[in-house]
C-alpha cells in the first residue's frame, strides 16, 4: 500500500451516524422546516409587513413579504437536517448550521407573529435597544458567576444575591433619601453593591471555610433572600410610605446618540446599563491580562498546582467570590433603582438563573457570557413585544403567558441543543483543603 492509499483509507472510513444530541437537534430542525413549508407558508397572510426603524408617526422602515422569509428560513432548517445526517466530511458544518438555525428562530418568531397579527409593522430598532437594556442584569449576573466559578466556587445563589441587594438598596433609599436629592439614590446604589458583596461573603464562608456543598449553599442564599426581602418590603419599605421612588436618569453617548433615526434609541440608556459594559470589559481585562486573574483561573482549574507555586488558594477564592458579589449587587440596584424605582417581591424573576445559562452558553468567558445575556435579553424583549402585537392563530389569540415563557424556552433549546458540550473550570464545586 502506498502512502497515499494509506492516507485515503483512513480519511474515507465511513463513520456510523449516531443519534446523539447534535443529530437529534438537526432532526428537529428538519421536521420544523417541513412543517413550515407545508403548513405555515401557504396558509399565512401574504400582505406586506414592515420592520420600522423609529417610533410612529410615519416611521422609516423596511417592507417584507412573510411567506418568502418563512420559506428561506425553512430551507436553512432542511439544510441543517441534511448536514446533521451526512456521513462524510460535510458533517463538520453541521454544528455551525445548528447554531444558525437556533439563532434564526428569533426572526422566524418575529415574522410569524407579525404576519399573524393585525399590525402592519413593528419598531425593530426599539426591540434591539430593549434587548440590550434587558441584558444588563443577565450580563452582570453572568459576570458574577464567572468570577466565582473561575475561582472554583459554583454559585447558583446569583439570583438571591441580586434580589437581596435590590431590596436592601431600595430600602436604604426609602429610609434615607426618598424625595430628596439624587445623591441619596447613588448612596443607595452603593449600599446595594455592598449588600451583594456581603451575601457573597456568606456564600464564600459557607463553601470555602466550612466546605458546605456549594449547590446547597447557593440554594440557601436564594431562599434566604426571598424571605428577607419579603420581610423588608412589608415591614420597612411599606411603612416608610416611599413604595415608589425615582430611578436613575438616562445618559446619551456624545455624538453617537445624535445619529439620525436610530441614534437616540440605541445610544441612550441608564448609568448602570453603561457600567455593565465597563464591568464586562474590566472582567475580561483583569481575568485574562493580569497576574491576579491568572491566579484566579488557576484556582478554578487545579488548586493543588496553584498551592505548589505558593499561591494562597483560599484567599484568592474569597476575593474572587466577593468581587462577583459586588457585581451582583450592581445588578440588584439595576432592578430597584434603574429599571424601575421601587421594590417588588421576587422582582429579579429568575434573571440569576438565566445569567447562569448565559455563562454556560458563553463557555465561561466574559464576552461569550455577554453574548448569551444578549440572546436571552432579546428573547425577553421579543416576548414582551409579541404580547403587544396580539397574535392570533385561526381566530384564537395566543395567551401572553406563552410569550412570557419565551426566554426560558430559548434558554432550554440553546443550552441543551445547539451549543453542545461546554466545559467549565475543572475544579469548580470542589472544596479545597490546604496541605499542612
Q: In the window 227-286, what residues touch another protein (CB under 8 A)?
A: 285
16 binds another protein (CB under 8 A): yes
- Contacting range for another protein; rule: CB under 8 A; set: 12-20, 81-89, 91-99, 129-137: 12-20
Number of Cβ within a 10 Å radius of residue 174: 25
**H or E element that contains 397:** strand 396-397
60 binds another protein (CB under 8 A): no
Size of the site for another protein (CB under 8 A): 27
Tell me the closest approach of the beta carbon of residue 369 to another protein, in angstroms.
17
**Distance of alpha carbon 133 from alpha carbon 156, whole angstroms:** 23
| Cβ pair 30, 37 in contact under 8 A | no
- Write the CB contacts of 274 (distance below 8 Å, at least 6 apart in sequence): 251
- Of the candidates 89, 131, 75, the one whose C-alpha atom is nearest the C-alpha of residue 106 is 131
435 binds another protein (CB under 8 A): yes
7 binds another protein (CB under 8 A): no
Build a one-symbol-per-residue string for 352-391: x at contacts with another protein by CB under 8 A, - elsewhere. Answer: ----------------------------------------
| Cβ pair 37, 71 in contact under 8 A | yes
- Contacting range for another protein; rule: CB under 8 A; set: 199-207, 273-281, 290-298, 340-348: 290-298
Q: Which is nearer to another protein, 15 or 47 (CB)?
A: 15
Q: What is the dihedral angle through the alpha carbons of 374, 380, 384, 385, rounded to the nearest 10 degrees?
A: 40
Tell me the closest approach of the beta carbon of residue 412 to another protein, in angstroms.
24
Tell me the closest approach of the beta carbon of residue 356 to another protein, in angstroms.
20
Build a one-symbol-per-residue string for 293-312: x at contacts with another protein by CB under 8 A, - elsewhere. Answer: -xx-xx--xx-xxxxxxxxx
Tell me the closest approach of the beta carbon of residue 398 to another protein, in angstroms.
41
119 binds another protein (CB under 8 A): no
Tell me the closest approach of the beta carbon of residue 425 to another protein, in angstroms.
8
Number of Cβ within a 10 Å radius of residue 110: 20
Q: Which is nearer to another protein, 175 or 311 (CB)?
A: 311
291 binds another protein (CB under 8 A): yes
| Cβ pair 31, 68 in contact under 8 A | no
Number of Cβ within a 10 Å radius of residue 57: 5
**Distance of alpha carbon 267 from alpha carbon 365, whole angstroms:** 25
Tell me the closest approach of the beta carbon of residue 218 to another protein, in angstroms.
24
Helix axes 313-333, 158-172, angle to 10 degrees: 60
Q: Give the three-state DSSP class for 123.
A: strand
Q: What length does the chain have?
A: 436
Tell me the closest approach of the beta carbon of residue 303 to another protein, in angstroms.
10
- Of the candidates 280, 330, 292, 290, the one whose C-alpha atom is nearest the C-alpha of residue 151 is 292
DSSP letter string over 155-169? ---HHHHHHHHHHHH
Strand partners, 62: 51
- Of the candidates 337, 174, 362, 192, the one whose C-alpha atom is nearest the C-alpha of residue 271 is 337
Tell me the closest approach of the beta carbon of residue 112 to another protein, in angstroms.
36
Tell me the closest approach of the beta carbon of residue 323 to another protein, in angstroms.
16
10 binds another protein (CB under 8 A): yes
Q: Which is nearer to another protein, 48 or 308 (CB)?
A: 308
Helix axes 271-289, 366-389, angle to 10 degrees: 150
Q: Which is nearer to another protein, 108 or 296 (CB)?
A: 296
Tell me the closest approach of the beta carbon of residue 219 to another protein, in angstroms.
24
Tell the burial category of 423 from Cβ atoms under 10 Å away from its Cβ (0-12, 13-18, 19+). Answer: exposed
Q: In the window 186-225, what residues touch another protein (CB under 8 A)?
A: none
- Contacting range for another protein; rule: CB under 8 A; set: 11-19, 79-87, 189-197, 380-388: 11-19
Q: Give the three-state DSSP class for 42.
A: helix
Work out which of 3, 4, 255, 278 binds another protein, going by CB under 8 A: 3
- Contacting range for another protein; rule: CB under 8 A; set: 7-15, 77-85, 130-138, 330-338: 7-15
Tell me the closest approach of the beta carbon of residue 417 to another protein, in angstroms.
18
**Distance of alpha carbon 258 from alpha carbon 81, whole angstroms:** 45
Q: Which residues bind another protein (CB under 8 A)?
A: 3, 10, 13, 15-16, 285, 289-291, 294-295, 297-298, 301-302, 304-312, 426, 435-436
Amino acid at each position: 500500500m502506498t502512502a497515499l492509499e494509506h492516507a485515503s483509507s483512513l480519511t474515507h472510513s465511513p463513520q456510523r451516524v449516531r443519534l446523539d444530541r447534535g443529530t437529534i437537534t438537526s432532526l428537529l430542525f428538519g421536521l420544523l422546516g417541513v412543517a413550515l413549508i407545508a403548513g405555515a407558508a401557504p396558509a399565512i397572510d401574504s400582505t406586506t409587513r414592515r420592520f420600522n426603524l423609529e417610533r410612529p408617526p410615519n416611521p422609516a422602515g423596511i417592507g417584507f413579504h412573510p411567506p418568502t422569509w418563512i420559506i428561506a428560513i425553512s430551507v436553512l432548517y432542511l439544510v441543517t437536517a441534511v448536514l446533521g445526517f451526512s456521513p462524510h466530511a460535510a458533517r463538520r458544518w453541521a454544528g455551525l448550521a445548528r447554531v444558525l438555525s437556533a439563532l434564526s428562530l428569533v426572526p422566524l418568531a418575529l415574522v410569524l407573529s407579525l404576519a399573524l397579527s393585525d399590525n402592519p409593522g413593528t419598531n425593530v430598532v426599539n426591540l434591539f435597544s430593549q434587548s440590550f437594556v434587558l441584558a444588563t442584569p443577565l450580563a452582570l449576573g453572568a459576570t458574577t458567576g464567572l468570577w466565582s466559578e473561575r475561582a472554583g466556587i459554583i454559585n447558583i445563589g446569583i439570583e438571591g444575591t441580586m434580589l437581596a441587594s435590590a431590596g436592601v438598596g431600595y430600602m436604604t433609599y426609602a429610609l434615607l433619601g426618598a424625595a430628596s436629592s439624587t445623591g441619596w439614590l447613588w448612596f443607595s446604589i452603593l449600599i446595594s453593591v455592598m449588600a451583594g458583596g456581603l451575601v457573597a461573603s456568606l456564600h464564600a464562608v459557607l463553601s470555602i471555610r466550612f466546605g458546605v456543598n456549594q449547590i446547597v449553599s447557593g440554594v440557601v442564599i436564594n431562599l434566604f433572600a426571598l424571605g428577607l426581602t419579603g420581610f423588608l418590603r412589608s415591614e420597612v419599605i411599606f411603612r416608610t410610605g416611599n413604595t415608589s421612588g425615582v430611578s436613575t436618569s438616562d445618559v446619551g453617548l456624545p455624538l453617537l446618540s445624535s445619529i439620525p433615526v436610530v441614534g437616540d434609541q440605541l445610544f441612550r440608556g441608564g448609568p448602570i446599563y453603561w457600567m455593565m459594559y465597563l464591568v464586562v470589559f474590566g472582567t475580561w481585562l483583569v481575568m485574562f491580562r493580569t497576574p491576579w486573574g491568572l491566579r484566579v483561573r488557576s484556582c478554578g482549574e487545579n488548586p493543588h498546582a496553584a498551592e505548589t507555586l505558593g499561591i494562597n488558594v483560599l484567599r484568592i477564592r474569597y476575593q474572587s467570590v466577593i468581587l462577583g458579589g459586588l457585581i451582583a449587587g450592581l445588578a440588584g440596584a439595576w432592578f430597584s433603582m434603574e429599571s424601575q424605582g421601587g421594590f417588588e417581591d421576587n422582582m429579579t424573576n429568575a434573571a440569576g438563573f438565566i445569567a447562569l445559562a448565559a455563562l454556560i452558553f458563553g463557555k465561561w468567558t466574559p464576552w461569550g457570557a455577554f453574548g448569551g445575556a444578549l440572546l436571552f435579553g432579546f428573547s425577553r424583549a421579543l416576548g414582551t413585544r409579541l404580547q403587544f402585537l396580539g397574535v392570533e392563530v385561526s381566530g384564537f389569540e395566543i395567551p401572553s403567558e406563552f410569550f412570557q415563557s419565551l426566554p426560558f424556552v430559548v434558554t432550554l433549546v440553546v443550552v441543551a441543543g445547539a451549543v453542545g458540550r461546554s466545559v467549565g473550570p475543572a475544579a469548580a464545586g470542589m472544596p479545597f483543603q490546604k496541605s499542612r
